[in-house]
Amino acid sequence: MGRESRNFTQKVRQHLHCDSCYSRRCRARVEPSASCALVPCRLLCGAVFHLCKEEDHLLLCPNVRVPCLNAEYGCPIQLPRSSRAAHLQVCPASVVCCSMEWLRWPVDDTNPNNFNAMQDNMMKERETHGEALDVAMALVDQSDLYARLKMKPLYPELMEQEEEEDIKEESREEIAVGALPVSSMSENHAAEETAQRVTQPPMINMEKYNLFEMMFSMERGACADTTSPRSCPPPDTSKTGLAPWQEGVLERLGQELTPQEYNMYMVHHGRMLLAFGQIEACTSREKDFVYGSLEPIAVQTLHSFKVTSSSLANSHRKNPNNSVDVDTSDLGASEEDWFVDEAEATLLGYAEMAVMGHKISETKGADGLYVDFGTQTHSFRTSPFKQRTTLAEVMADRPLKLLLQLQAETVNSRNNRASCAFTFLCGHSFHRREFATHFRNVHSDIQMCLSEWFEQQCPLAYLGCTYRQRRFHPSTQKATVTYNQQLRCFNLRPDVLPSLDGKTGDGEDRLSSLPYEVLCHMASFLDSQSLSQLALVSRLMRQVCSSLLQERGMVTLRWERTTSSHGRAKWKSKPVWEFSHLFSAVDSWNMADIPPISAHLKVCPFYQKTEQKERVALPFITEKQQKTKSFNVLFEILKIKRPFL
């Protein structure tokens, strides 16, 4: 800073006129020590200034090419300074991560109106009839949930021993054989490093040394002043203060403080009073104000429950008790029923923690006398588990079964979504200009309206019917909404004619035979998701799609963990170019030309008609018939008494 200020003062002294001149029509004479000539900007921005201010002007010139504001995030574009603001709208490094969250709870077996039968049937027919949108999303969420649920928090008693013991045993075996153990190798390596450090000359930071020396000198001076004989002796406050170590503090506290203040003083400083011997930790029975003046009172038992006379009479008629040994074989259960499904038990345990805030049958103290002991036991086929075992590893070889609900919740007041294990995140990255379209089409139009609106199911789905129909399609084209489980996103599949689907052809790749410029022009009409899939077809298509990365793609930083030569772990980032998972924007949806759901009920196998052949009297008709019958009886009586009627 000193050199810069000197250069600046020298410039000011050399060009006193240029320092304060801002006129475009300056007519001052050119003098080496006073002023210099006026020159226009070489980049043609229109500015006119003195020649000595050219370097300063380049820091503000709008036509100077500078890197993008997101250059640290991977954008390689250099552009004029005046275009940086407009470039941010199309900058490939301007990326937004979708933070949409939703909750999906385990299936409730106690609910009689659940859809367990329908979910089981759909899992059986998923290969033949395809998967529904909500079922595909639930399966993806279930796989994510299995991967992050660990077995150790719920079943610590079913864990194996730690790996450190195994390492110690291996080292002992190597020592017995005569090999060099791992610990000795690490010690030798550490000794070598320390030897290298000792042989190297020490490097001293003189700035820190001078700073510490100044601080210590100030402290030594303060100590010398306090210990000098000139300092006056401190006043004697041993018999006047209220500190716990002063004599007679309790008597002064009783005279100067109120009872409330006295009690607060004893609460906060009681331990110090004990340490300095002001009060005794244990008082004798004679000095205790409670036991010295009170007498023991006999304990009286109060029975508030009055036993009825009928129970007393029946108590004499007790059946004789016989002690019999009972085993699990006496219950009539097979060996298969002894074990519990790991997935169902684990999901139930984590749901209890998320909703109720504690584990199932957790040991807890009710009060000072009673403690509730947990008695829940589990028997698993795969136990014991390793320390870092997840539910996904346990269920890897099991048949796929859907154990989560199809309905997802976005708003829930029972728990905190951030700390709940059943919270799922979208997590896809999009360009800033694509995020609004993604949220509107995917989350607002499709995901939040799946049940009974976007995808309509049979009214008898609770009985097991798997019929579904998708009621909407984009207004601009005829396409079907599908869900890709590998990419974990929705996409649009165009309805192609059977003659154009490529199944009847000879299998030749006629698209690759087109010129490269034509392929690039055709690829420019595709959406981002289609481009990302087209790049996986062949090397030629990858080159075609890479030509659109600067315009349609986005760049993100991918962090990788590396290990240095000294064994230290470091994180390094590198830019990665990719396309987002956004399909073509849909501004409006139209109703599909499909029959209503009532047409399916005519052929639904779960819709059973009940024909009633016996006559059933309606309540209104029965009441009217009784009134007519009573009126006829009364009329006959009157006719007998009066013949003229």
Q: Is residue 528 helix, strand or coil?
A: helix
- Nearest Cα to 458, choosing from 121, 127, 102? 121
Taking the C-alpha atoms of residue 603 and residue 177, their distance in angstroms, rounded to an integer, is 77
Residue 490, pLDDT score: 92
CA quadruple 563, 564, 568, 574: dihedral sign: negative
Most confident of the ranges 286-290, 323-327, 549-553: 549-553
Single out the residue of 590, 599, 597, 598 nearest to residue 469, CA to CA. 597
3-class SS string, 74-134 = CCCCEEEHHHHHHHCCCCCCCEEECCCEEECCECCCCCCCCCHHHHHHHHHCHHHHCCCHH
Span 386-395, mean pLDDT? 89
The closest alpha carbon to 394, from 375, 410, 380, belongs to 380
Q: Is the pLDDT of residue 607 over 50?
A: yes
pLDDT at 173: 44
Is residue 50 a contact partner of residue 38, using CB atoms and an 8 Å limit? yes
Fold of domain 16-89 = Herpes Virus-1 (3.30.40)
Q: Does the pLDDT at position 308 exceed 60?
A: no
Average pLDDT over residues 277-294: 59
Burial class (CB in 10 A: 0-12, 13-18, 19+), 550: middle
DSSP 3-state of 35: strand
Q: How confident is the model at residue 476 (pLDDT cuts 50, 70, 90)?
A: confident
pLDDT-derived band at 164 (thresholds 50, 70, 90) equals low
For residues 329-333, give the mean pLDDT: 64
Instruction: Work out the number of other CB atoms within 10 angstroms of the CB of residue 626.
Output: 10
What's the mean pLDDT in 347-369?
Answer: 76
What pLDDT score does 621 carry?
A: 59
Band (pLDDT 50/70/90 cuts) for residue 501 is low
> Cα–Cα distance between 176 and 408 in angstroms, integer?
60
pLDDT in the model for residue 9: 39
pLDDT of residue 251: 82
Q: What is the arithmetic mean of pLDDT over 105-118?
A: 77
Average pLDDT of the segment spanning 94-100: 92
- In the chain, DSSP finds a helix count (H) and a strand count (E) of 22, 18
| pLDDT score, position 3 | 47
Its pTM stands at 0.64
Distance CA 18, CA 10 (A): 13
For position 435, what pLDDT does the model report? 93
**Which of 61-70, 154-163, 570-579 is the least confident region?**
154-163
Instruction: List pLDDT tens digits, range 232-263.
Output: 455 555 566 677 777 778 888 878 888 777 87
Report which residue type is found at 464: G
Q: What is the pLDDT of residue 336?
A: 66
Q: Where are the domains of the chain?
A: 16-89
Average pLDDT of the residues in 479-503: 81
- How far apart CA 580 and CA 530 sit, in angstroms, is 10
- Residue 177: predicted pLDDT: 37
Of 216, 155, 534, 81, the C-alpha closest to 376 is 155
Distance CA 533, CA 537 (A): 7
Which is nearest to 135 in space by CA: 144, 126, 147? Answer: 126
Q: Which residue has the tokens 């399909």?
A: 583
Tokens of 156: 């610590």
- The residue among 633 and 147 whose pLDDT is bigger is 147
Other beta carbons within 10 Å of 346: 27
pLDDT at position 441, please?
92
Tokens linked to 122? 């759909």
Mean of pLDDT over the chain: 76
425-455 residues labelled b (16+ CB within 10 A) or e (exposed): ebebbbbeebbebbbebbbebbbeebeeebb
Contact 105, 439 (CB under 8 A): no
Helix H segments across 411-506?
435-438
Better-predicted residue by pLDDT, 180 or 411: 411
**Ranges 50-64, 331-345, 458-472, 582-596: which has the least confidence:** 331-345
pLDDT value at position 221?
Answer: 62
Summarize pLDDT for 59-70 with one digit per residue, the tens: 999 999 999 999
3-class state of residue 463 by DSSP = helix
Per-residue pLDDT band at 97 (split at 50, 70, 90)? very high
Lowest mean pLDDT: which of 367-371, 435-439, 445-449?
367-371
Rg (the chain; Cα; Å): 43
Could you give the percent of the chain with pLDDT greater than 90?
A: 23
Residue 643 predicted with pLDDT over 60: no
Which of the pair, 199 or 356, is modelled with greater confidence?
Answer: 356
Write out pLDDT tens, residues 21-57: 888 888 888 887 788 888 999 999 999 998 888 888 9
Residue type, 281: A
- C-beta separation of 415 from 355 below 8 A: yes
Which residue type does 487 have? L
Q: Phi and psi (nearest 5°) for 285?
A: -70, -30
pLDDT digits (tens, 9 = 90+) for 169-215: 544 444 333 333 333 444 344 434 433 443 444 455 666 667 666 66
